[in-house]
Chains A and B, each alone.
Chain A
Amino acid sequence: MARVVILGAGVSGHTAALYLKRRLGRKHEVVVVSPGSNWNWIPSNIWVGVGRMNPAKVVFPLAPIYRRKKVDFRQARAVALRPEGDADNPRAGVDVVYTDPKRAGQTERIRYDYLINATGPKLNFAATPGLGPDTGHTVSVCTPSHAVEAASHLATVIETLKAGTPQTLVIGVGHGTCTCEGAAFEYAFNVEHELRTAGVRDLAEVIYLTNEHELGDFGVGGMTFSQGDRRITSEAWLESLFRERKMKAITQAAVTEIEPGLIHYRQIDGSANTQPFDFAMLLPPFRGVGLEVFDRNGAEITDAVFAPSGFMRVDANYEAKPFEQWTADDWPKTYQNPSYRNVFGIGIAFAPPHAISRPYATPDGIAIAPAPPRTGMPSGAMGKVVAMTISDMILSGATLPTHTGSMGEMAAACIASTGTGMLSGTAAAMSMSPIVPDYSRYPDTLGRDPKETTGDIGLAAHWVKRLLHTMFIYKARAYPLWYLIPE
């Protein structure tokens, strides 16, 4: 009997767990280690953050699902990997500290034959002084509880506006190296939609503050859409949308500090600026969760397995070279760790080889460099790819990964909500193929397939976004035929 341990139960880890158990059956063990007890459909947190969705609709408890599927669920936080085992036992292991209230604080070394690192990110609010809801002066929509708090603050702002007092709302990213600009974009437009619905839009100034070099970059270097016979950049597409919705934007910005009611930021030209605010939702940068790695003798070898960012090294080309020399081929295909072939890193937990958007910095070296997004559709696809590979290794003795899924080949679709409502909602539907531009395959169309890279705004995209919410929660709950729903 083989044991596969999965660290993390987000989109990629949970997807991997369900596919592994489906293929491996009862003869092999699948163990999921996650510090939280719930699964969260993060894309819908923005609707919780404007008070339009009950937080109970974006989460569900994992334990009953795993009990039904015969997956061994441990509510615990992984703290260290021992891929060579230890002095007492050569079998690889992972050290965990239980967060389950019944066993809180207890530790255990869980042995494994295969390990999937799908921990997701650490929300690094500490990277910017004053950032975040806990010790800072801004709100967040990264978790359901953060989103509930954001909705409460937004309701207060709307009441203040109704009393006739102008308000400034700043929404965006809180550091020069953030990713997930798409989520900030969605939240900004949903807030704007709520202000209009409440009849207080005229007194509010809504500002999108981002590290993107231009609007529509989204950390993927922007897109050029085919719309019938014409081509339009995502930048021009969104500039029109911003003007239509009377929203302002600050681009090329690295937030450096937040005081109560005042954001300090630097821009690429070196200028130091401030932006007053009454309400600010700024996303944090991500880093790895801080797993340590030890060899059999107990010596720390973390740097051999994890990049300095804390994300896991996989089968990518991490050679240092100028941005212009990176190619889509440098991106990982199997997500296998090069040092330990039974260890895989997927979702946000794997270390990207390079930025997709051109990185910039201020003259004195403050990075303004959106990190590559690796959430949602590609994250689920990676979970399936690795689950298939590991199950082939276990069931048929494959020695090499049997499935691949590179972001340099994968397509992705992103439905960015710009306001909710069955007949009044809108969303921007964007698709791109591949995610990482491949300039050798598509030299004349900025690295992407023009037939598969499209953009459309309208009510239909909102319906799709709402449908995805229902479908992915159905899939994550592992209801009948869940596996027919693609990642």
Chain B
Amino acid sequence: MDDAQRRIDTAPLPGAQELRRRSNPVGQFLRFLRLNWTMYRLANHRH
């Protein structure tokens, strides 16, 4: 394997708190709303 694999092997892993955040339905629902707003905004500007 090349340098990419060496970098993967030494990359930091997400902690338990981050993993919980990614799958917490309540927190993720709020992020879902924010992501939708972000995408709507991006899609509507500059064209």
- Chain A contact residues, CB within 8 Å of chain B: 214-215, 235-236, 239-240, 242-244, 247-252, 267, 377, 381, 384-385, 403-405, 409-413, 423-424, 426, 429, 431, 433-434, 452, 454, 456-461, 463-464, 467, 486-487
Contacts and interface: CB of A to CB of B under 8 A. Distances in A.
B13 A460 contact: no
B4 interface: yes
B35 to A, nearest CB: 5
Contacts of B9: 243
Contacts of A244: 13-14
A326 B47 CA distance: 22
Contacts of B28: 458-460, 463
B16 interface: no
Q: What's the dominant secondary structure at chain A's contact region?
A: mixed
27 contacts: A239-B4, A239-B7, A239-B8, A243-B8, A249-B5, A252-B4, A377-B42, A381-B43, A403-B47, A409-B46, A410-B47, A412-B42, A413-B39, A413-B43, A423-B23, A426-B22, A431-B39, A431-B42, A454-B38, A456-B35, A459-B25, A460-B30, A460-B35, A461-B31, A463-B28, A464-B36, A486-B44
A418 to B, nearest CB: 10
Interface in B6-22: 7-9, 11-14, 21-22
B4 A251 contact: yes
Q: Lowest 7 CB-CB distances: which A-B pairs, in order? A: A405-B47, A486-B43, A460-B31, A239-B11, A458-B22, A460-B32, A411-B42
Contact of B13 (A243, A404, A409, A459): A243
A218 to B, nearest CB: 14
Interface residues of B, number: 33
A424 B22 CA distance: 10
Interface of B: 1-5, 7-9, 11-14, 21-25, 28-32, 35-36, 38-40, 42-47
Contacts of B38: 413, 431, 454
Nearest to A423: B25
B47 to A, nearest CB: 3
A457 B8 contact: no
Most chain A CB atoms below 10 A, which of B23, B30, B31, B35: B35
Contacts of A487: 43
A379 to B, nearest CB: 12
A235 B14 CA distance: 15
A243 B7 CA distance: 9
A381 B8 CA distance: 36
A299 to B, nearest CB: 37
Given A240-B14, A413-B38, A460-B31, A384 B47 contact: yes
Contacts of A251: 2-4
Contacts of A456: 31, 35
Given A410-B46, A411-B42, A426-B22, A240 B13 contact: yes
A248 B2 contact: no
B31 A240 contact: no
Contacts of A248: 1, 5, 8
B25 to A, nearest CB: 7
Given A247-B8, A486-B44, 5 more contacts: A235-B7, A381-B47, A385-B47, A458-B21, A459-B25
A434 B45 CA distance: 11
B8 to A, nearest CB: 5
Contact of A486 (B1, B13, B40): B40
Contacts of B31: 456, 458, 460-461
Contacts of A426: 22-23
B4 A464 contact: no
A224 to B, nearest CB: 16
Contact of A467 (B21, B22, B36, B47): B36
